Structure 1
């Protein structure tokens, strides 16, 4: 295995274990000389604490607040006894407009995928301006909510600015 591939593999494994996740490694076809080449099937994960910011190489900087617990209203979808909300600040440091619809956000709570909650009564409507561009030097705030179990548990919020990003910022903490 070549040294850069080993470094990427070790970084991915360390970032996964920092949040308590399990690493998955996909091996590709053998390289010249018969030794297996490891190819990254997914982007490198960079672990970040809630409340901190992460700067992606393409010029997008994100800052995710600590989770705020709330009880969804009866009109919320999907129904959940408890949810947490995150303020996500996105700043475009790049030289091109950033298309907000390219943002990918997913969450897990207690090791299980968490569903996004839409609760318009309480102001959690998802990304309402997804069709808009964020001009260079400007920023936008998005508030997203996710259904979580009653007792506080380990929470991971993964953000990727676009489908071609080689890095996923994984925010970790308790919610």
Structure 2
């Protein structure tokens, strides 16, 4: 029993010193303690004389158990530290991705706001569309409809909107649109049509380096006739072509 306890104690210590084999060291260490205690009992009864071996087996078995517990604790701490580190890395990656996404969204919003602001102009300022058409809406002038005019109510204020379009590109550019005019209250106004022949509708296409001028008349209510806003895009059905707006006092 003493020899067995001593051998098992040595095996338990060796396995316990190899930290990642702690799960193997506890069994021989525990058996070393048990056999060592049995061996000491035989010594007390006088049936054995190897007290030193039995006692050494108990001591070494106890050390092996401590090493097994220590190895388990160390392994738990190592695994926990690795998990915490992995979680921290995941959180950092997620936070970095969220920050990049947020920055990208904010950048896109800033660019959209800047693009929208660039399309808000005062009367007389030119705006260059992506297809090469440079559009200028002049400050509206008073317009006197004839007696056969349609779209103009008595007491309203009629204005003439002049739109100049220059093709700065290298190929013909189509124009398929009509301007929209809003009064000072933001309400859509009525297009005035009469028989004077003064109105001129922009249509067809403009050759490179050429210009076209369109003239339109609109009727504003007297309560909101102090300011107007003109919205225009060369090709109304092209959803990829944003509109531009000119505004100012009348």
Please say whether Structure 1 and Structure 2 have the same fold, judged by a TM-score greater than 0.5: yes
* 1:143-158 matched pairs, under 5 angstroms: 143-151=215-223, 152-158=225-231
CA-CA distance at 1:75 after TM superposition: 0.8
The CA RMSD measured in Å over matched residues stands at 2.2
Paired position in structure 2 for 1:96? 171
* 1:70-109 matched pairs, under 5 angstroms: 70-80=143-153, 81-100=156-175, 102-109=176-183
CA-CA distance at 1:66 after TM superposition: 0.7
CA-CA distance at 1:121 after TM superposition: 1.7
Paired position in structure 1 for 2:106? 3
**Contact 1:73 1:122 survives alignment (8 Å):** no
One of 105, 126, 132 as aligned partner of 1:53: 126
CA-CA distance at 1:165 after TM superposition: 4.2
CA-CA distance at 1:51 after TM superposition: 1.3
Aligned CA distance change for structure 1 residues 12 and 136 (closer, same or farther; 3 Å):
closer
C-alpha separation in 1, matches of 2:178 and 2:197: 23
Please state whether the residue corresponding to 1:113 is helix, strand or coil.
Answer: coil
Give structure 1 regions of 4+ aligned residues with deviation exceeding 6 angstroms. none
Aligned CA distance change for structure 1 residues 77 and 60 (closer, same or farther; 3 Å):
same
Paired position in structure 2 for 1:134? 206
C-alpha separation in 1, matches of 2:145 and 2:165: 25
Pair 1:117 & 2:204 matched: no
**Contact 2:152 2:190 survives alignment (8 Å):** no
Aligned pairs, number = 141
Q: Which has the higher helix share?
A: 2
TM-score by length of 1: 0.70
**Contact 1:69 1:85 survives alignment (8 Å):** yes
Q: Which has the higher strand share?
A: 1
CA-CA distance at 1:9 after TM superposition: 4.5
Pair 1:67 & 2:140 matched: yes
Please state whether the residue corresponding to 2:113 is helix, strand or coil.
Answer: helix
Aligned CA distance change for structure 1 residues 52 and 136 (closer, same or farther; 3 Å):
same
Aligned CA distance change for structure 1 residues 74 and 165 (closer, same or farther; 3 Å):
farther
C-alpha separation in 2, matches of 1:174 and 1:166: 27
- Which sections of structure 2, spanning at least 5 residues, go unmatched? 1-101
Larger Rg: 2
- Which sections of structure 1, spanning at least 5 residues, go unmatched? 16-44
C-alpha separation in 1, matches of 2:114 and 2:241: 13
User: Which is bigger in relative contact order (C-alpha 8 A, separation at least 6)?
Assistant: 1
